[in-house]
Amino acid sequence: MIDEEQPAQGNPAQQREPSLLGSIRQHSVRLGLFALGAALLLALVNTGTAQRIAEQERLAELEALNAVLPPTAHDNDLLADSFMLTPANPVFAHQELLGLSSARPAYRASLNGESTGVILPLETPEGYSGTIVLLIGINANGAITGVRALDHNETPGLGDKIDLRKSPWILTFDNRSQDNTDPVLWRVKKDGGEFGQFVGATITPRAVVAAVSKALTFFAENRAALLNPPVREPNP
């Protein structure tokens, strides 16, 4: 009797190889899909976060603008009616009076189509601890509707009283103008003016008073251009 040949048994390692490669491919696909899903989720989260941050910044900007020019004085969108003041390319006379070190937005206000005022940024490098950034609202008649300190590094308990959260001192500018306050009085009382200084801190209020006075001069010299923006040509 002739024994039938037994089928050759393959190498166990060779038999496992296709199964192992298939498993690796499956895991790779799963990992790729997981990474793609995670990336999409992260993109959605970042988009939502960026939108919320942008909205919060917009609301904070509007709050600051409404603090220096009350909402009752305008019905236009201040953010939409903004324009840039660029030190390197000034478009207004004596723009250096604002002391700007970089481009900053200004805003025109109107009510029922009539110009009611403007909000201007200004800086003074003469603070005790460096540059002070301010925002000033001026109505069409040239009177101050509000002044706020946006950024400063003044000494806590002393120079930081220019911040409304620390002291009401900044409100002393309200309703002041070049018409009702003589130029020689735009100084702190220590220098013969009408504005109070802080105990132990004269440099800071002196710098702010001078900056606000210069801003009024800038407004007076550019009143028409500031209140009446150039007519935009229609798109062809």
In degrees and rounded to multiples of 5, residue 131 shows phi and psi of -70, 140
**The two structure tokens encoding residue 104:** 């900053």
Among 149, 155, 151, 164, smallest CA distance to 199 is for 155
Beta bridge partners of 82: 107
pTM of the model: 0.74
Question: How far apart are alpha carbons 73 and 78 in whole angstroms?
Answer: 11
pLDDT in tens, the chain (236 residues): 445 444 445 555 555 566 666 677 777 777 777 777 777 777 766 665 666 665 565 555 778 899 999 999 999 999 999 999 999 999 999 999 999 999 999 999 999 999 999 999 999 998 888 899 999 999 999 999 999 999 888 888 888 899 999 999 999 999 999 999 999 999 999 999 999 999 888 999 999 999 999 999 999 999 999 998 664 444 44
Each residue's pLDDT tens digit, 150-181: 988 888 888 889 999 999 999 999 999 999 99
Tell me what pLDDT residue 235 has.
47
Half-sphere exposure for 152 (CA within 13 Å, toward CB) = 30
Q: What is the DSSP string of 175-208?
A: T--TTTS-GGGSSBGGGTSSB--BTTB-HHHHHH
Each residue's pLDDT tens digit, 35-49: 777 777 777 666 656
The answer to whether the CB of 122 falls within 8 A of the CB of 134 is yes
Question: How far apart are alpha carbons 145 and 139 in whole angstroms?
Answer: 6
What does pLDDT average to over the chain?
Answer: 84
